Amino acid sequence: MMPALLRSLVRRSSRRGAFLYPGAEIRDLPGAQGRHPARVRVSVEGQAKAAVEVGRNRLAITAGVFALAFCVIAGRLVDLMALNGGEAEAMAAAMAASDGPVVGAVVARSDIVDRNGVILATNLPTVNLYADTRAILDPEEAARRLVQLFPDMEYGETRDKLASGGHFVYLRRHLTPEQQEAVNLLGQPGLEFEPTERRVYPQGPLAAHVLGATSTDNHGIAGIESSFDRYLLEKAEPLQLSLDVRVQHAVRDVLLKAVDRFHAIAGAALVADVRTGEILALVSLPDYQPEAFSGAPADSRRNRATLGVYEMGSTFKLVNTALGLEVGGYHVTDGFDASHPLRMAGFTIHDDHAQARWLSIEEILVHSSNIGSAKMALAIGGDAQKAFLDRLGLLSPISLELPEVGKPLYPDPWRPINTVTISYGHGVAVTPVHMVNAVMPLVNGGWYRPATLLRQDPEAPPPGHQVVSARTSDTMRSLMRRVVTDGTGRKADVAGYLVGGKTGTAEKNEHGRYRHKALLPSFVAAFPMDDPRYVVLAMLDEPKGIPETHGFAAAGWNAAPTAGAMIARIAPILGVRPRGPETPVAPEVRFATASGDAGRAVH
């Protein structure tokens, strides 16, 4: 059969034979075996076989390539149709990475809030007005109408700006929504708005010296705004301070009235929690509107509570007494002869409230004796005094979260005359925050915790380190209470709150000379003295004697009552329960409570 096929092929090519339909040649020849299908076995040999193999391979490869291409197209189609060409995946990944589109910050700079979440500083969205001057049809008309709207804009300048030909000329920053609408209603083409944000301080000057200020491009230039600039720009959640606006307001209010009443040129006040070191109120007067920081006078911008360093005067005797008890190992009943003024290195040390007799350590503090303090410090020695002051943080800059922190001034070398003057608060200049921070361990059982402006976790107070013993702290508490009940601080007492403290009246040192008429009275207090919670400091700068104080300008007459008034205002806010029988207690009440918690009712 095969030879027949080959023959027919040969025949077909070589000569014309009988007509055959295509394919007929591979069938049996007519009449051979009826019309049975051909049984053909193609067997190609040699070159022909190779050609067929090549053809088949090419076919297979082409089919494979096509199949692959179609698969790719199908995959791409599914990708495009169902998954948006990777866009959806990218979106999903972005959503998973962030917390979703509606969690991020609303504004570019996060809020500053007080310990209760009251907003102290926030960004508000506003618009800037600019002009695309190429689109302005009539600069003179547009300028005229803009000046009508904003009377503080100058016509000539505005017209020149509008006619300048620039396509982005700022006309006015931070329009209110009403102003924006008014500009829109002008219907002037070429007046455009640029969305922006503005830092606002809803409480005004209340916490100005803590917050600081921001520049027009929303960067901190003072206070917390400056020290936490990166935090505020990067984090979405607000920055929570330790301040309490209620306390801050009460303290500022009382201090404002005191500055006014005693004709002082300035004042500062602090309230701090002795358990955590948190500062609840920090006031420095005069203060400023944070929005108008750059225009405020330098005197207002000066933070007297943290930047100004002052010789604190007799309030330092608290530190000196603690030095005697802790380092000197004295007992409160030990004493020194204060009957004669002390002469040393050409100076004579007098007492302001001279008792002219032998005084116990307790009496030295209560009567604020310079002579007794000096003799005690001399007995202990200058090196121990310096080391103790350093332990209380009085010789190094305070670690407060503000850029405006003052560096203490102290003598070098530390001569015996310095030991004498420092014992009663002259010769070392510290900030009021230093003073508060040093008094805290004297009343809280001896624990030094750096003062902070950030809210601390009440469950986990920051770890402190013990700088004086609990026994010294206990003694200091009762001594401070004695100063208020029997000594120079009587006017600071607030019935029920067991206030303890110490007055200090420093003479201001200007160009190395002390001015007798320029006083810096201060009062540092803690309350309630049976379990101190808060330290309060009030300081007035150059108050004058007034008829109500019989012309005196010493701390007992102005700073002490100011601190007392602050405590009376803030203690109920802070939830400190008054002690002692505020109302006469009937005998049967005493009887009824005798079995129960009597100590609480009739202390």
Partner 1 sequence: MRLRGIAVVWGVLAVAAAAGLFRLKYEVIALEERLATLTHAIEADRRAIHVLRAEWSYFNDPDSLDKRVGAKLDLVPMDPAHIIALDALPFRPKPVGETAGGPARPPRVLNPGSAAPIPVPGQKPATLAEYTVMRTQP
Q: Which residues does the annotation mark as catalytic?
A: 314
CB of 526 to partner 1, least distance (A): 16
Q: How many residues bind partner 1 (CB under 8 A)?
A: 52
CB of 221 to partner 1, least distance (A): 21
CB of 292 to partner 1, least distance (A): 16
494 vs 559, beta carbon nearer partner 1: 494
Inter-residue contact 443 to 477 (CB < 8 Å): yes
CB of 253 to partner 1, least distance (A): 7
Q: How far is CA 280 from CA 201, 340, 564, in A?
A: 18, 43, 17
The binding track of 494-533 with respect to partner 1, each residue x by CB under 8 A or -, is: xxxx------------------------------------
CB of 602 to partner 1, least distance (A): 7
118 vs 327, beta carbon nearer partner 1: 118
- Exactly one of 172, 246, 391, 434 binds partner 1 (CB under 8 A); that residue is 246
- Exactly one of 180, 215, 355, 593 binds partner 1 (CB under 8 A); that residue is 593
Q: Is 245 in the site for partner 1 (CB under 8 A)?
A: yes
Inter-residue contact 257 to 423 (CB < 8 Å): no
Query: Counting runs of H as helices and runs of E as strands, what totals does the chain give?
Result: 21, 20
- Exactly one of 152, 217, 457, 582 binds partner 1 (CB under 8 A); that residue is 582
Extract the tokens encoding 403.
Answer: 């850029």
Residue of 540, 419, 559 whose CA lies nearest to 502 = 559
Site for partner 1 in 466-495 (CB under 8 A): 494-495
Inter-residue contact 270 to 282 (CB < 8 Å): yes
- Exactly one of 381, 397, 416, 578 binds partner 1 (CB under 8 A); that residue is 578
What's the CA gap between 472 and 62, in Å, rounded? 97
Contacting range for partner 1; rule: CB under 8 A; set: 148-156, 201-209, 325-333, 337-345: 201-209
Inter-residue contact 301 to 222 (CB < 8 Å): yes
C-alpha atoms less than 13 angstroms from C-alpha of 412 in its C-beta half-sphere: 4
Residue of 248, 315, 261 whose CA lies nearest to 287 = 248
**Tokens 């070429």, residue located:** 190
395 vs 598, beta carbon nearer partner 1: 598
The binding track of 72-91 with respect to partner 1, each residue x by CB under 8 A or -, is: -----xx--xx-x---x---
- Exactly one of 192, 253, 291, 334 binds partner 1 (CB under 8 A); that residue is 253
Site for partner 1 in 122-161 (CB under 8 A): 122, 124-125
Site for partner 1 in 102-121 (CB under 8 A): 102, 106-107, 118-120
CB of 567 to partner 1, least distance (A): 9
What's the CA gap between 27 and 36, in Å, rounded? 8
Q: Is 596 in the site for partner 1 (CB under 8 A)?
A: yes
Start-to-end CA span in the chain (Å): 133
Residue of 409, 332, 320, 327 whose CA lies nearest to 371 = 320
CB atoms closer than 10 angstroms to residue 256: 16
> Which residues are CB-neighbours of 30 under 8 A, at least 6 positions away?
none
Q: How far is CA 359 from CA 340, 350, 366, 471, in A?
A: 12, 14, 10, 22
CB of 586 to partner 1, least distance (A): 5
100 vs 413, beta carbon nearer partner 1: 100
Identify whether 587 is preceded by a cis peptide bond (ω within 30 of 0): no
Cα diameter, the chain:
161
Q: Is 94 in the site for partner 1 (CB under 8 A)?
A: no
> Which residues are CB-neighbours of 502 under 8 A, at least 6 positions away?
314, 315, 317, 318, 365, 368, 480, 483, 488, 489, 523, 524, 525
253 vs 507, beta carbon nearer partner 1: 253
25 vs 225, beta carbon nearer partner 1: 225
Q: 559: buried, middle or exposed (CB in 10 Å: 19+, 13-18, 0-12)?
A: buried
- Exactly one of 354, 384, 417, 589 binds partner 1 (CB under 8 A); that residue is 589
Q: Is 250 in the site for partner 1 (CB under 8 A)?
A: yes
Q: Work out the angle at residue 418's Cα, subtended by the Cα atoms of residues 412 and 419, and round it to the nearest 5 degrees.
A: 115
Q: Is 571 in the site for partner 1 (CB under 8 A)?
A: yes
Q: Is 206 in the site for partner 1 (CB under 8 A)?
A: yes
What's the CA gap between 599 and 467, in Å, rounded? 31
SS3 for 588-602 is: HHHHHHHCCCHHHHC
Q: Is 600 in the site for partner 1 (CB under 8 A)?
A: yes
17 vs 125, beta carbon nearer partner 1: 125
CB of 291 to partner 1, least distance (A): 12
Q: Is 288 in the site for partner 1 (CB under 8 A)?
A: no
Site residues, partner 1 (CB under 8 A): 77-78, 81-82, 84, 88, 101-102, 106-107, 118-120, 122, 124-125, 200, 202-204, 206, 245-246, 248-250, 253, 494-497, 568-569, 571-573, 577-578, 581-583, 585-586, 588-589, 592-593, 596-597, 600-602
